[in-house]
Amino acid sequence: MQLEVGAILEGKITGITKFGAFVELGQGNTGMVHISEVAPTFVKEITDFVTEGQTVKVKVLSVGQDGKISLSMKKAADTAFAAGQQAPRAHGGRKGPEPFEWQGRKNESVSFEDMLSKFKQSSDEKMSALKKGLESKRGGFSRHGSGQSR
């Protein structure tokens, strides 16, 4: 089977390294998805996004003369999205809470000032919680009571 650059294929992840994942494409062909081509977001730990044995869609980026096949999961997802399929999840299987996504409300007319006020209140609450967390990690360190002058 001759692989074409730009083809969208399904394959099974057969190995994971720090720099990428190896995908078996069938008929003896194996390609590699570099860590930068796994997801549309920054990938620090590839195992947060893929697991061995997982079936994934990949796009063929290049086929070298030496037989090395370069693949992309994120470009395969972009192509599927452009073809009218469901949008890819940016969360990518990472651990932790889902990222916030802005969604407009159709039947609610809220003034800009009200939205700004709600945003400021939410921001102040988050900053307060962040400062409390930092103080507890530092043992209650205070800039004003440190005894050091600037």
pTM of the predicted protein model: 0.53
Residue from 138, 28, 46 nearest 92 by CA:
46
| 13 and 68 both lie in a single domain | yes
| Residue 89 belongs to a domain | no
Are residues 120 and 69 part of one domain?
no
- Residue 131 belongs to a domain: yes
How far is it, in rounded angstroms, from Cα 85 to Cα 78?
10
- Number of domains observed in the structure of the chain: 2
Do 71 and 123 share a domain, yes or no? no
Shared domain check, 73 and 13? yes
Q: Residue by residue, what is the 3-state secondary structure of 45-73? A: CHHHCCCCCCEEEEEEEEECCCCCEEEEH
pLDDT at 17: 94
Domain boundary among 45, 62, 82: 82
Checking if the pLDDT of 9 tops 70, the result is yes
Beta-strand runs (E) in the chain: 8-16, 20-26, 29-34, 55-63, 69-72
Q: Are 20 and 76 in the same domain?
A: yes
> pLDDT digit string (tens) for 11-47?
999 999 999 999 999 888 899 999 999 999 998 999 9
Digit-coded pLDDT (tens) for 72-101:
999 988 766 555 555 444 444 444 444 544
Provide the residue range defining the domain that includes 129: 110-137
Residue 149 resides in a domain: no
| CATH code: domain of residue 24 | 2.40.50.140
Is residue 15 within 8 Å of 75, Cβ to Cβ? Answer: no
Query: Are the beta carbons of 62 and 70 closer than 8 angstroms?
Result: yes
Specify whether 33 is located in the same domain as 75. yes
Is residue 3 domain-resident? no
Task: Write down the pLDDT at residue 34.
Answer: 94
Is 18 within a domain? yes
Asked if residue 88 is part of any domain, the answer here is no
